[in-house]
Structure 1
Amino acid sequence: MPNNKDKGMLEDLCLKSVKDSPLIKCVDRLFECANQMYENGEVKKYFEKYEYFKNKEFYRKIFSESNGKIKNIAKAKAQAYLSVMPIIVKSVGEGAKKGYWNFESEELNELKKFLEYFKNTL
């Protein structure tokens, strides 16, 4: 799912459709930087520095459930990509409506075949 050969989710496929976009290079650099900050403990140190964060449920959950790492990279990268578009949208579906994903990408061929099959059989 969703290309019938790789593991993943819709966001993975959307990101593959724009893998040659110059904006994806920016998104990739953002995540490289963020992952480095998580790995070297800088993010955790920041949150531990303030009593405000220590008393918040989200803080305790972030570091106990995710071990201080980005939990869902594909969803996070898709949101980052959508956030740098001329008009920001909240979901991959809204991004599709705006034309932010490349529907001509070869990465979508298997999905197109799958949908065509249902179109012709129903």
Structure 2
Amino acid sequence: MPYTYGGPGVVYVTDSGAGTVLSVPAAGGAPTTLAVGLNFPAGLALSGTTLYVCEFGANRVVTVPTAGGMAAPLVTGLNGPTDIVISGSTLFITNSNSQTVVTAPITGGAPTVISGPAGFTTPFGITI
């Protein structure tokens, strides 16, 4: 299960099999469900009070409020997004089924290929 650290006291986790995004106390304890009904959520990144989640099965990135709520589509037209990282106002996304790394504005929009498919087999993780 991919996860990201939400600052003091919180870890955010995707449960791909259950199609959920959860928060977990970093010191241990029961998880709290933040979003349900996702199609194989994978990697996620945090900016402020917004989680950016790769929805592998739906070929898109969605946003989820850290307080919980409905997932909102942000970037579509992907092909197997697995992981995501944020730098400034740009999302960097591994697009594993098309063997590419793409960028998109943090506000949403069309993805732009910055690398691949040459050199990649199945890009999965990403960090900056």
TM-score by length of 2: 0.23
Which has the bigger relative contact order, CA under 8 A and spacing at least 6?
Answer: 1
Higher strand fraction (1 or 2): 2
**Bigger proportion of residues as helix:** 1
In our comparison, the structure showing a higher alpha carbon Rg is 1
Q: TM-score, length-normalised on structure 1?
A: 0.23
